[in-house]
Amino acid sequence: MKVVLKNLTKKFPGRGKNAADVIAVNDFDTEIPDGKLVGLLGPSGCGKSTVLNLICGLLKPTNGQIFFGDDDITLLPPESRGVGMVFQNYALYPHLTVEKNILFPLQNFKGKDKLSKEEMAKRVKEAAHLVQIDSLLERKPSELSGGQQQRVAIARALVKLPRILLLDEPLSNLDARLRLQTREEIKRIQQETKITTVFVTHDQEEAMSISDMIILMKAGVIHQIGKPQDVYDDPKDLFVAKFLGTPPINVFSGSVKSGRLYIGSAPVLDAAGVRDGDVYVGIRPEGFVPDENGPLECGFKSLEVMGRDVSVVFSNENALVETPRAIVSAENRIDTSSPVIRFSLKPFKTLLFDKETEERIR
Amino acid sequence: MDGKNFKGWLYLLPAVIFLGVFMVYPLVDVLIYSLEESYNSASQSFTGVGLFNYSYVLRDPYFLQALKNTFILVMITVPLSTGLALLISVGLSSIKPLRNLFQTVYFLPYVTNTLAVGLVFMILFKKTAYSDGLVNLLINLFGGPSVDFIDGPYWAKMFVLCFYTIWVVLPFKILILTSALASVKQDYYNAARIDGTSKARIFARITLPMISPMMFYLIITGFIGAFKAYSDAVALFGTDLNAAEMNTIVGYVYDMLYGDSGGYPSYASAAAIILFAIVLTITCINLIVSKKLVHY
């Protein structure tokens, strides 16, 4: 089932006297394709959870419409929308066993949708099997680990075969190792069930690693939508470029003069067709190539060995980030005794942004 | 005794002394009195040891009346007041405007003096030379005959006593239940709503189990409180409760000690021990039932 969000806007009344409305989601306009896993990504407070709550119906939009397929469900209450939702803290009913928790949504079916006892038991078993908690059915939620609770919450959301599955920060309460494992799990479950899934996260790595598509937003506005790799390689503006990638992109202040890009006084690359003037230069860490004759001269600070790669921490007076970092292959032997290191740059890892609008200059 | 152990007991000493002198000793003493036949507190003498006091008390029509009154009071007021409190708290937590006002209104009886409340009930129910009371005025308005609630038939007096008791215990229960309801996380309700749960089912399957520990606490303390009722009856019917047929077990104990027909500490002790046994039994039953129903 595809989800269409049309000019979706949500305003909350401000606090205090004469306070202006807080615009949590502003003119949100996008289409989430059927059967895809979509990551809603942005810094905290950017309105991504609000979008999720609008889709599931716990919040009513101030303006705009929501469609599931061709049905306009904007005015439907949450119980009639047929969505499954996994809450950030799972919201498992503590007084019910795992089995009863998963059974709970099925017992709500009325009229012609009503299931027989055997049918319900079968569905619960299937859902439990899908998330691999078959052996935990008799336990209470308090007797489960965080990861197991997470699985139960997913099973509970899936058991009623929802049209859309929503996950609110699904991995934020798990430790690092479990997070890696669970995100693979979410991907697998989504691919097995083919249910259109939207998940919210502020962790770009998480979103990039499992999403078919990411929606990057900031302050209630969509900045860019696309496949994770496309958005990473081809960011629309400086915010997107900075938000994606670990280590983050290195930003320098530079300038373009008659078709050449300068960082400081060093002419680093050709920039044919770009208007003269000051620009932000964003260089991905993997865009640096150590080169004795390279144009960009930097102060060498330290070397962090990571095995396959090494990370070079350097300094440059034009850098706008505190510790610029280059990731280079370990095969490049870096002379750690020299105070200076020279780089040449890979053109397609070097991105230019307008100084005023922070939009990408192509 | 090693030093650590000694220190522990030293810290406990003040509490142990006070509890021992004012709780344990009197309890044991009451038990002893209840077994000593025709004990005289002036001469500190008694004629024998046995269960005579118990058999006397259990055959005393005044005690049986008090026992019956107390049981009726307990069986009517505890379920009714708890149910009403639940209803009102759920109502209070689902409205936004005027919520604080209503909370205050419902809480007022709690901070009002029992005897002052008794006075108000007098005005509502008592027949005087000048008026039949506010409630009778209302009954007359609908064409019914006046009822004497204070000196009249047994059922009318019991009605007033139950009404009064419920009204007095309600605020505390509402206070506890509203805070219990407020502590149930909104996420559970959201999750249930998204899963299409009806309001009635949310209440029965989520709200009630979540506040069950508090409900249980209120029912236990409600039972104990109602069994120990006394001042409420005095506030409504005066001190001669035996004459009004409105005595309670605690009232009977008081009368046996200090009342006009008093001066019988042995009978009073026996009655007190019987009350203790009843409350203990009921509380144990409550605990057993709660094991099945209460979720912690």
pLDDT in tens, chain A (362 residues): 888 888 888 888 888 777 788 888 888 888 888 888 999 988 888 888 888 889 988 888 888 888 888 888 888 888 888 888 998 888 899 888 899 999 988 888 877 778 888 888 888 888 888 888 888 888 998 888 888 888 899 889 888 888 899 998 888 877 888 888 888 888 888 888 889 999 898 888 888 888 999 999 888 888 899 998 998 888 888 888 888 888 888 888 888 888 888 888 888 788 777 788 888 988 998 888 888 888 888 888 888 887 788 888 888 888 888 888 888 887 777 777 788 888 888 888 888 888 888 888 87
CA distance, residue B196 to nearest chain A CA (Å): 4
Residues B234 and B281 in one domain: yes
Residues B204 and B105 in one domain: yes
- Which candidate in B195, B208, B215, B290 is best for mutational testing of the A interface (most A CBs within 10 A)? B195
Q: Which residue of B has its CA nearest to A159?
A: B195
Q: Does A164 touch chain B (CB under 8 A)?
A: no
User: Of B82, B106, B90, which is closest to residue B217 (Cα–Cα)?
Assistant: B82
User: Would you say residue B39 has pLDDT above 80?
Assistant: no
Cβ–Cβ of B187/A105 closer than 8 Å? no
Segment B16-43 shows an average pLDDT of 87
| Residues contacting residue B29 through CB under 8 Å, at least 6 positions apart | none
pLDDT of res. B131: 75
Cβ–Cβ of A91/B185 closer than 8 Å? yes
Residues B153 and B272 in one domain: yes
Residues B112 and B24 in one domain: no
CA distance, residue A280 to nearest chain B CA (Å): 44
Residues B176 and B244 in one domain: yes
Which tens digit of pLDDT belongs to each residue from A93-124? 988 889 999 998 888 887 777 888 888 888 88
Cβ–Cβ of A160/B195 closer than 8 Å? yes
CA distance, residue A86 to nearest chain B CA (Å): 8
Q: How many domains does chain B have?
A: 2
Residues B202 and B262 in one domain: yes
- Which candidate in A56, A76, A79 is best for mutational testing of the B interface (most B CBs within 10 A)? A79
Give the single-character DSSP code of B183.
T
Q: State pTM to two decimals.
A: 0.78
Residues B172 and B93 in one domain: yes
Q: Does A94 touch chain B (CB under 8 A)?
A: yes
Expressed as residue numbers, the domain containing B272 is 52-293
Residue A63: strand pairing partners: A9
Residues B63 and B15 in one domain: no
Cβ–Cβ of B187/A91 closer than 8 Å? yes
Cβ–Cβ of A91/B206 closer than 8 Å? no
Start-to-end C-alpha separation, chain B: 39
Of B50, B69, B85, which residue constitutes the final position of a domain?
B50
Residues B94 and B230 in one domain: yes
CA distance, residue B290 to nearest chain A CA (Å): 14
Q: Does A114 touch chain B (CB under 8 A)?
A: no
Cβ–Cβ of B196/A109 closer than 8 Å? yes
Residues B181 and B127 in one domain: yes
Comparing CB atoms, the residue among A85, A95, A105 nearest residue B209 is: A95
> What CATH number is given to the structural domain containing B243?
1.10.3720.10
Which tens digit of pLDDT belongs to each residue from A201-260? 888 888 888 899 999 988 888 889 999 899 888 888 888 888 888 888 888 888 888 888
Q: Which residues of A touch B198 (CB under 8 A)?
A: 108
For residues A308 and A329, what is the distance between their CA atoms, to the nearest angstrom?
7
Mean pLDDT, chain B, as a whole number?
Answer: 86
As given in the structure block, the two tokens for residue A291 are: 């080169």
Handedness of CA B136, B137, B142, B145 (dihedral sign): positive
Residues B153 and B173 in one domain: yes
**Burial (0-12, 13-18, 19+ Cβ within 10 Å), A250:** buried
Kindly provide the ipTM of the predicted complex, given to two decimals: 0.79
CA distance, residue B296 to nearest chain A CA (Å): 8
Residues B23 and B132 in one domain: no
User: Using omega within 30 degrees of 0 as the cis cutoff, is the peptide bond preceding A33 cis?
Assistant: no
Q: Output B77 or B235, whichever has higher pLDDT.
A: B77
